[in-house]
Structure 1
Amino acid sequence: MHAWPASEVPALPDKGRDLRIHDTATDGLVTLDPGPVARIYVCGITPYDATHIGHAATYNAFDLVQRVWLDTKRQVHYVQNVTDVDDPLLERAQRDNVDWVALAEQETALFREDMTALRMLPPQQYIGAVEAIPGIVPLVERLRDAGAAYELEGDIYFSVESDPNFGKVSRLDAAAMRLLSAERGGDPDRPGKKNPLDPMLWMAAREGEPSWDGGSLGRGRPGWHIECVAIALDHLGMGFDIQGGGSNLAFPHHEMGASHAQALTGEFPMAKAYVHAGMVALHGEKMSKSKGNLVFVSTLRREGVDPAAIRLALLAHHYRADWEWTDQVLQDAVARLDRWRAAVSRPDGPPAETLVTEIREALANDLDAPAALVAVDRWAALQQERGGTDEGAPGVVSRAVDALLGVAL
Structure 2
Amino acid sequence: MVRYVYDVAEEPGDGRDGSGPPGGPGVDPVGLLGEKGADLTGLLRLGLPVPAGFTVTSEACRVFLATGAPPPGLDAELAAHLARLERAAGRRLGRVDDPLLLSVRPGARVAVPGLMPTVLDVGLNDHAVLGLAGTPARERFAWDSYRRLVRAFGTAVMGVDPALFDGVLHRIEDQHHVADDSRLDACDLIRIVETYKDVVRERTGEDFPQDPVEQLHRAVRAAFASWAGEPARLHRRRAGLPDEPGVAVTVQTMVFGNRDAASGSGVALTRDPVAGGPGVYGGYLPGAQGEDVASGTRDPLPLAEFARLDPDAYAALCGHLRRLEEHHRDVCGVAFTVERGRLWTLRSFVGEPAVRAATAGAAARPAADGAAPGRTKDDRPD
User: What band does the TM-score fall into relative to the shorter chain?
Assistant: under 0.3
The structure with more radius of gyration: 1
**Structure ranking higher on relative contact order (CA contacts 8 Å, 6+ apart):** 1
- TM-score (normalizing by structure 1): 0.25
- TM-score (normalizing by structure 2): 0.26
